[in-house]
């Protein structure tokens, strides 16, 4: 088989879709993961350049489904060389779970739902994928968020889940390096995707764009380009890094 075997979670739309396209365009074989977007995911698999691409499904909040999905992807691709942990959930623009405007039940529900997918789901996916990467080396790239650093006052579970993902990536960069596995993270700001569409089309959309001195938000392809490079053979020395991709909208030291 030619090219690398790449698993991209949450690949049916947005950043994940752009990431899948970027890898396929460079000759890699891609496993397109989705949870409940089969038509979009099927369309993407059919449209990707090259051949050998496959469709896999799992609810990342379910550890058993995660394990079956990763093993299925590796079996059908002939192994795994790259994992891109992109899938994630975020609350709605007009709801969220601000601490004084949420019932205790709502608070619990949002934290559980968000952590189960964004952090535990990613951790479980890595655990399963590492078993396939161990004997051949490879790359793991996690998609985090600017919110891990600046905070998410109305979506605290989201910010916390992404901060946890950052720490997870750095811990595993050290743990997996002896096996030739590099682990890196990208932390985008707002990106024009289905997940952020309701925010960008709301009255506060102009204010969101104005957060960057470029007066815009990112396109998915810009994030995909960074992910693709971090997964390249040349990027091993970037293992453990967290790359800010927010158009200077939030600068940290």
Q: Which pLDDT tens digits describe the chain residue by residue (253 residues)?
A: 679 999 999 999 999 999 999 999 999 999 999 999 999 999 999 999 999 999 999 999 999 999 999 999 999 999 999 999 999 998 765 568 999 999 999 999 999 999 999 999 999 999 999 999 999 999 999 999 999 999 999 999 999 999 999 999 999 999 999 999 999 999 999 999 887 877 788 888 999 999 999 999 999 999 999 999 999 999 999 999 999 999 999 999 8
Q: Where are the domains of the chain?
A: 5-245
CA–CA distances in Å: residue 4 to residues 7, 20, 49, 51, 232: 10, 12, 14, 12, 10
Query: Whole-angstrom distance between the N-terminal and C-terminal Cα of the chain?
Result: 44
CATH class label, 5-245: alpha beta
Catalytically active residues are: 158
- Residue 203 pLDDT: 83
Contact by Cβ (8 Å): 158, 91: yes
Structure-token pair, residue 190:
């707002």
As beta bridge partners, residue 82 has 6, 139
- Residue 183 pLDDT: 98
In 3D space, the residue among 157, 111, 143 whose CA is nearest the CA of residue 220 turns out to be 143
Sign (positive/negative) of CA torsion 4, 241, 20, 158?
Answer: positive
């Amino acid at each position: 088989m030619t090219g690398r075997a790449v698993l991209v979670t949450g690949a049916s739309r947005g950043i994940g879709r752009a990431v899948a396209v970027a890898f396929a365009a460079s000759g890699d074989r891609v496993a397109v993961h989705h949870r409940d977007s089969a038509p979009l995911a099927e369309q993407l698999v059919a449209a990707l350049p090259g051949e050998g691409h496959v469709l896999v499904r799992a609810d990342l909040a379910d550890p058993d489904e995660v394990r079956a999905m990763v093993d299925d992807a590796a079996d059908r691709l002939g192994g795994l060389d790259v994992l891109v942990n992109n899938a994630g959930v975020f609350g709605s623009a007009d709801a969220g779970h601000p601490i004084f405007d949420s019932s205790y039940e709502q608070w619990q529900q949002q934290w559980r739902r968000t952590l189960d997918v964004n952090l535990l789901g990613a951790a479980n996916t890595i655990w399963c994928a590492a078993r396939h990467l161990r004997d051949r080396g490879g790359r793991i790239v996690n998609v985090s968020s600017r919110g891990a650093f600046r905070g998410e006052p109305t979506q605290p579970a989201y910010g916390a889940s992404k901060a946890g993902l950052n720490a997870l990536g750095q811990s595993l960069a050290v743990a997996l390096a002896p096996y030739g596995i590099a682990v890196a993270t990208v932390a985008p700001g707002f990106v024009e995707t289905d997940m952020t569409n309701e925010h960008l089309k709301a009255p506060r959309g102009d204010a969101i764009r104005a957060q960057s001195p470029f007066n815009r938000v990112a396109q998915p392809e810009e994030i995909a380009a960074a992910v693709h490079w971090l997964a390249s053979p040349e990027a091993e020395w970037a293992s453990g890094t967290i790359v800010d991709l927010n158009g200077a909208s939030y600068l940290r030291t």
